[in-house]
Structures are given as structure tokens and as C-alpha cells.
């Protein structure tokens, strides 16, 4: 489960926001309170000083309006007046006439200034503008902040002088600083209490949210068992109830989806046909094992590759072309050694809006069907050819007889004999075809019986040895032990007749035909070998195909139909055995077949 950073936690954010709001509110209140307090204290201080200055101004004006015989008397009277108004917060009071001459000062240290011109700009502005002025500045001598008040002295709307007053206002600022410190401490205490309260308040909001976050993370990992605790009936409680309901719905939906996915996976894995799915860009996103086996590829070589490249169609079709394909496409992967043909059917998956999501490709191994179709076409062609040759011959001779050759006693018998021979060959061909047809349709039953195979084999060999016309030698390599097999003697006789007949047909005069029987496990292996021309290695396995002839001209001349070994193979298979051939061109051919047998104990057979 992913952890949330400390400052990214909604709990911390909520507390921080709560603290910031309180802090901003208290800062605004504190600034407003400090500013108003400062203005109030300064105003009160100024009012107090001005009230006293008004009394001073009245007394000074009275003294200045008296008739004086000399200036020292005025200075003494003014000094007496100023000394009566001297207090702790007023540092100095100066009386300056309209000509900027200092008439008196309350500061004992500055008595030397009496009689000198005042160089203060504020005094000049007050006299010229006839209005009082006020400034506050830091006095480096006193190292304190002082308030300087300059008040014009009027008499009948005439400025006769000014009062220059310096008052110690530093106590007011110290008082303001003390109040600000008290306010700061109160803010700190309030913030501490606010943080604690904010944490508890935040928990009431963030606890259900954190619980839902953990539930969402558990749901993302597939765990739908836990539930969100409902803390109340408010909006958070209703949200928790809705979240639990959503969890149940998702659990049911996931169960349904997983069930459908398992069904789909089971269907895909057990399908004999290959299935390939692509995304909207034509890249392979899903493929079952059957498709991998058909394409003879591994999954890592197929996934995320273009479908046209996988199917070997990139030269002929793009993905957009495959979307438009409605008929199946044959995929030829054949080699010189073996044919291999697949057939691909394409189906487009798209939304209701028509947007193409991808392509579904179904692969079917069509090799056997193609081979069957090819064999069927070849079979029809061979049958037609085999029937056309004797029919053409018969038609030619019958036409000749019809035209009058039957009157010729020397030619007519020969024509009739050829016609009869071709008729018999067609009858044999039709009979062989009927036999193969019954074998293909399983419409025959074996009439089996227990036979001692060596005796049975010897009787067939002796029949051929008695009736053979060419100078061919028979050699028998048969065991002395009795070998009992359960066979249909009539059908097994046909098998051996076909094989031995072929051996005699292709054996030269003076050659040998060898017969042998061996045992291997629960089977006997029969061998019939000749010294004929042999068969090319590439065609050895084809001699059991229908209508196949190693030497067509010689076989047809000898009345062969090309179906003997095909019938022999079907009969051997029906007996539970196998048949095959080995040959070397110019050195002869050997045909082998096996039959199941049971080795009997002595005395069991009489």
C-alpha cells in the first residue's frame, strides 16, 4: 500500500489550513489593535500636551502683551511662567517671538539659547502658515523618541510668537511594545490551543476519508473483504455507506468478470482452432496455445507484433486491408518436405459508434483437407485415366469389328481377345475400387480364425512357385517355431498375393524372391524381397497410394490396376499391423508388414 507524504496528507493540510486561517485572522486583529492602540495613545499624549500648552500659550501671551521697559524683565517673567508648567513628560518649552528670537526656555541647560535666533524649520513654518505643527523623531542626545509641537501665539489675529515644545513620547512607544508583546504571547497561546483543537477537529473529518483511502487501495489490490466504518449520519457517514455499497457492487462485478474470463480462457485453451486478438493498431494482444502451435512460434515472439507480419501477409495486406476482408485467406507455410496450409478467418470488433477496437483472427489447419481434396482430384483423375485407356482400346477394336473386321478369321479372334482382356481389367479395377470403398466406409467385417502362420505362408509361396513362368528363385527364411495369429485368411491371402505378384513382376530372370518371418515382442514381421529395378528413395512411401505405379507402362501391360498395395495397406491396418517398404534403386525392393500374435505354451495346440 502506497504511503502518503506527511505534507501531502489531508489531515496535515486540514490542520495547516485551520491554523493559517486562525493565524491570519489573529494577525489582522493584532495589526488593527496595535495600530489603533498606537494612534489612541499618541492622540491622548498629544491632547494632554496640547491642553497644557494652551494654558502656557495664554499665560505667555499675557506676559508678552504687557508694556515692558526692558527685555530682561520679560525674560524673567516668561521663565517664571514656564517653570510652572514644567512636568516629567515635557522636556523643554521655548518662547519665540515673531522675529524668531528665543525669549525664554524651561530647560536650565539651554539658558544660553535665550536671545538667539531659532533655526528650527518648524518654527518658521508655524509663523508663516499661522498653524501649529507636530513631528515625532528620535533624539540622539536623549536616545529617546520625542514629540515636537510648535504652536503660534496669536493676539487679535496677529502672530506675536510661537511656543516650541519637546515632549518625551518614548514612554508611549514602550507601552505599545509591552502591549504588543502581551498580544504576541496571547497569539502564541491561542495558536497552541488552536493546533490541538484543530488536530481533533481534523480527525473527525479525515478519519473516514483515510479509512476510505485505505479501502480504495485495498480494492485496487483486489481485496473487497474490508468495509469502511460509518462514524455518523452526516454527509461523511452517507459517503461511507455509499462507498461500502460500491465495494459490494465491484466485488460482484469482479467475480462475474473473473468467471467470464475463466470461461473464455478455458474455451480458448481447449479450442482446436487458433484464435488471435489484436488491438486497434493491429498489434497482437492475445493468442491461444493452438494458434502458437499452428504458427510454430513462441508467445514472446508474437505479442505486440503486427498481425500481418505474424501471418506472413505484410507484402499483400495492411491492417486496414485485413479489416475489410470478408472471405477467409489461405496461408501457405508448406516446405519441400511437407505441405502445411492454414486458413485464416477475420472478424472485426468495434464499438456501437463504429470505432474499430481490433481484429479477431481464427486459424484452422487446412492441411489435411487440402491433402484430401488433392487426393480426391488425383483419384478421380487416375480412375478416369484408368477407365479411359481400356475403353478407348475396346472402342477402337469394336469399331474395327463393326466395320467388317469380324469377317476376317485371322484378325477377328485377336480383336475379341484384346476386348475381353480389357474388359476383365476394368472388372478387376471396379472390384478393387469397391473393396477400397467398403474399407473406407468400414462396411466390412473380418472373419478371423487362429492360423499357424508359417504353414499358411508356405502354402501361398508354393502356389506361386508352382504357377510362376519366369526363371525366378524363391528363398524361404522361415522360423521352425509355430507362430499362431488370428487373421482373416481370405483377406490376408489377397495381401500376400498382391505383394508377391508385384515382386514377381519386377524381378528379372535369374533373380531371387526372398520370404522371411521374424518376431519382435507381440508382433511377427513378414518380409517379401525382390531383385528388381527398385524404387527411387523419394517415392518409396508412395507405393501404397492408390493408382501409384513405379513403372506404369509395364504394370498396365501386365494388367495391374495400381490398387493392390493400397488394398494391402488397408487390410494390414484392419488386422492391427503396419506395412512399409524399403528399396534401393537398381537393387530391388523389400516390403515389410507386421501382425499381432500370441506366443502359446507347449501343449496348448494340438
Task: Look at residue 272 and tell me whether its pLDDT is greater than 60.
Answer: yes
Has residue 232 got a pLDDT over 60? yes
User: What's residue 46's pLDDT?
Assistant: 81
What share of the chain in percent tops pLDDT 70? 86
Q: How many CA atoms lie within 13 A of 384 on its CB side?
A: 6
229: left (phi over 0), alpha (psi -120 to 50) or beta: beta
- Low-confidence winner among 123-132, 241-250, 432-441, 548-557 (lowest mean pLDDT): 548-557
What residues does each domain of the chain span? 11-176, 271-365, 371-440, 449-596
| pLDDT cut 90: percent of the chain above it | 3
Is the per-residue pLDDT at 527 higher than 90? Answer: yes
Query: Do residues 171 and 89 touch, judged by C-beta distance below 8 A?
Result: yes
Domain 449-596 class?
A: alpha beta
Per-residue pLDDT at 524 = 92
The answer to whether residue 558 scores a pLDDT higher than 50 is no
Q: What is the pLDDT of residue 385?
A: 62
- Mean pLDDT value across residues 408-419: 78
Are 110 and 95 spatial neighbours (Cβ–Cβ below 8 Å)? no
Query: Using alpha carbons only, what angle is made at residue 169 by residues 163 and 171, rounded to the nearest 5 degrees?
Result: 150
Give the chain's count of helices (H) and strands (E).
15, 17
pLDDT band, very low/low/confident/very high, at 515 (cuts 50, 70, 90): very high
DSSP codes of every residue in 413-449: HHHHHHHHHHHHHHHHHHHHHHHHHHHHTT------E
Chain position carrying cell 522636556:
91
- Between 72-81, 134-143, 282-291, the lowest mean confidence (pLDDT) is in 72-81
**Which of these ranges, 71-85, 497-511, 586-600, has the smallest mean pLDDT?**
71-85
> Measuring CA to CA, which residue among 98, 105, 100 is closest to residue 80?
105
Is the pLDDT higher at 148 or at 85?
A: 148
Rounded to an integer, what distance in angstroms lies between the CA atom of residue 286 and that of residue 283? 9
Query: Across the chain, what does the average pLDDT equal?
Result: 78
Are residues 528 and 543 in contact, defined by beta-carbon separation less than 8 angstroms? no
In tens, the pLDDT along 371-409 reads: 776 766 666 666 666 667 677 777 777 887 777 777 777
Look at residue 230 and tell me whether its pLDDT is greater than 80: no
Fold for the domain defined by 371-440:
Helix Hairpins (1.10.287)
What is the sign of the dihedral through the CA atoms of 186, 187, 191 and 192? negative
The residues pairing with 329 across neighbouring beta strands, listed in sequence order, are 344
pLDDT band for position 87 (cuts 50, 70, 90): low
Look at residue 353 in the predicted model and tell me its pLDDT. Answer: 78
Q: What is the pLDDT of residue 603?
A: 45
| Helix, strand, coil % over all residues of the chain, rounded to 5 | 55, 20, 25
**Can you give the C-alpha Rg of the chain in angstroms?**
64
For domain 271-365, the CATH architecture is 2-Layer Sandwich (3.30)
Alpha-carbon dihedral sign for residues 226, 231, 233, 237: negative
Please, which pLDDT band fits residue 214 given cuts at 50, 70 and 90?
confident
Do 11-176 and 271-365 agree at the fold level? yes
Query: Is a pLDDT exceeding 80 seen at residue 275?
Result: yes
Angle at 261 between CA 257 and CA 267, to 5 degrees: 145
User: For residues 81 and 93, which has the higher predicted lDDT (pLDDT)?
Assistant: 93
Q: Could you report the per-residue pLDDT of 183-199, keeping only the tens digit for each?
A: 888 878 887 887 787 77
- Residue 562: the pLDDT is 64
What beta strand segments (E) does 494-564 contain?
512-520, 523-529
Confidence at residue 557, expressed as pLDDT on a 0 to 100 scale: 45
- CATH 3.40.50.2300 applies to domain 11-176: no
In this predicted structure, the answer to whether residue 2 has a pLDDT above a threshold of 50 is no
Residues 298-322: pLDDT tens digits?
A: 888 888 888 888 888 888 888 888 8
Amino acid at each position: 500500500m502506497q504511503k502518503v507524504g506527511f505534507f501531502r496528507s489531508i489531515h496535515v493540510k486540514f490542520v495547516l489550513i485551520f491554523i493559517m486561517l486562525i493565524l491570519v485572522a489573529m494577525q489582522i486583529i493584532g495589526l488593527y489593535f496595535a495600530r489603533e492602540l498606537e494612534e489612541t495613545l499618541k492622540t491622548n499624549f498629544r491632547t494632554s500636551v496640547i491642553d497644557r500648552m494652551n494654558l502656557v500659550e495664554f499665560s505667555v501671551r499675557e506676559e508678552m502683551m504687557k508694556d515692558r521697559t526692558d527685555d530682561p524683565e520679560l525674560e524673567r517673567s516668561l521663565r517664571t511662567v514656564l517653570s510652572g508648567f514644567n512636568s516629567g513628560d515635557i522636556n523643554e518649552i521655548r518662547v519665540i517671538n515673531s522675529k524668531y528670537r528665543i525669549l525664554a526656555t524651561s530647560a536650565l541647560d539651554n539658558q544660553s539659547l535665550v536671545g538667539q535666533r531659532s533655526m528650527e524649520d518648524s518654527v518658521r513654518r508655524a509663523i508663516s502658515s499661522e498653524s501649529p505643527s507636530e513631528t515625532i523623531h528620535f533624539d540622539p542626545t536623549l536616545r529617546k523618541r520625542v514629540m515636537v509641537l510648535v504652536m503660534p501665539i496669536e493676539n487679535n489675529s496677529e502672530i506675536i510668537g510661537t511656543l516650541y515644545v519637546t515632549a518625551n513620547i518614548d514612554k508611549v512607544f514602550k507601552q505599545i511594545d509591552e502591549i504588543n508583546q502581551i498580544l504576541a504571547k496571547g497569539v502564541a497561546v491561542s495558536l497552541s490551543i488552536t493546533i490541538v483543537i484543530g488536530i481533533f477537529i481534523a480527525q473527525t473529518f479525515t478519519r473516514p476519508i483515510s479509512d476510505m483511502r485505505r479501502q480504495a487501495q485495498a480494492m485496487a489490490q483486489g481485496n473487497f473483504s474490508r468495509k469502511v466504518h460509518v462514524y455518523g449520519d452526516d454527509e461523511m457517514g452517507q459517503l461511507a455507506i455509499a462507498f461500502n455499497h460500491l465495494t459490494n457492487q465491484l466485488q460482484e462485478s469482479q467475480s462475474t468478470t473473473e468467471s467470464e474470463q475463466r470461461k473464455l480462457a478455458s474455451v480458448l485453451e481447449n479450442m482446436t482452432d487458433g484464435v488471435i486478438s489484436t488491438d486497434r493498431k493491429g498489434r497482437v494482444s492475445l493468442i491461444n496455445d493452438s494458434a502458437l502451435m499452428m504458427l510454430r512460434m513462441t508467445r514472446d515472439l508474437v505479442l505486440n507484433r503486427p498481425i500481418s507480419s505474424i501471418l506472413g501477409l505484410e507484402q499483400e495486406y495492411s491492417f486496414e486491408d485485413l479489416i475489410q476482408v470478408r472471405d477467409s485467406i489461405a496461408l501457405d507455410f508448406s516446405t519441400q518436405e511437407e505441405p502445411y496450409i492454414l486458413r485464416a478467418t477475420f472478424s472485426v470488433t468495434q464499438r456501437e459508434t463504429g470505432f474499430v477496437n481490433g481484429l479477431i483472427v481464427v486459424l484452422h489447419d487446412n492441411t489435411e483437407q487440402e491433402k484430401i481434396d488433392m487426393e480426391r482430384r488425383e483419384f478421380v483423375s487416375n480412375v478416369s485415366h484408368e477407365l479411359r485407356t481400356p475403353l478407348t482400346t475396346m472402342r477402337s477394336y469394336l469399331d474395327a469389328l463393326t466395320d467388317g473386321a469380324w469377317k476376317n478369321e485371322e484378325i477377328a479372334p485377336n480383336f475379341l481377345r484384346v476386348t475381353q482382356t480389357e474388359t476383365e481389367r476394368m472388372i478387376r479395377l471396379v472390384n478393387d475400387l469397391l473393396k477400397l470403398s467398403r474399407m473406407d466406409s468400414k462396411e466390412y467385417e473380418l472373419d478371423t480364425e487362429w492360423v499357424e502362420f508359417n504353414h499358411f505362408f508356405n502354402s501361398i509361396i508354393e502356389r506361386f512357385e508352382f504357377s510362376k513362368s519366369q526363371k525366378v528363385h524363391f528363398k524361404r527364411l522361415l522360423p521352425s517355431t509355430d507362430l499362431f495369429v488370428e487373421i482373416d485368411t481370405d483377406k490376408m491371402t489377397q495381401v500376400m498375393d498382391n505383394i508377391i505378384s508385384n515382386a514377381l513382376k519386377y524381378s528379372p530372370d535369374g533373380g531371387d524372391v526372398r520370404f522371411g518371418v521374424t518376431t519382435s515382442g507381440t508382433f511377427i514381421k513378414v518380409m517379401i524381397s525382390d531383385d528388381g529395378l527398385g524404387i527411387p528413395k523419394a517415392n518409396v512411401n508412395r507405393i501404397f497410394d492408390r493408382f501409384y505405379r513405379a513403372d506404369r507402362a509395364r504394370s498396365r501391360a501386365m494388367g495391374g490396376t495400381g490398387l493392390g498395395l493400397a488394398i494391402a495397406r488397408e487390410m494390414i491396418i484392419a488386422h492391427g499391423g503396419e506395412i512399409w517398404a524399403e528399396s534401393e534403386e537398381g537393387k530391388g525392393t523389400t516390403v515389410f508388414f507386421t501382425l499381432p500374435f500370441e506366443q502359446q505354451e507347449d501343449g496348448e495346440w494340438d
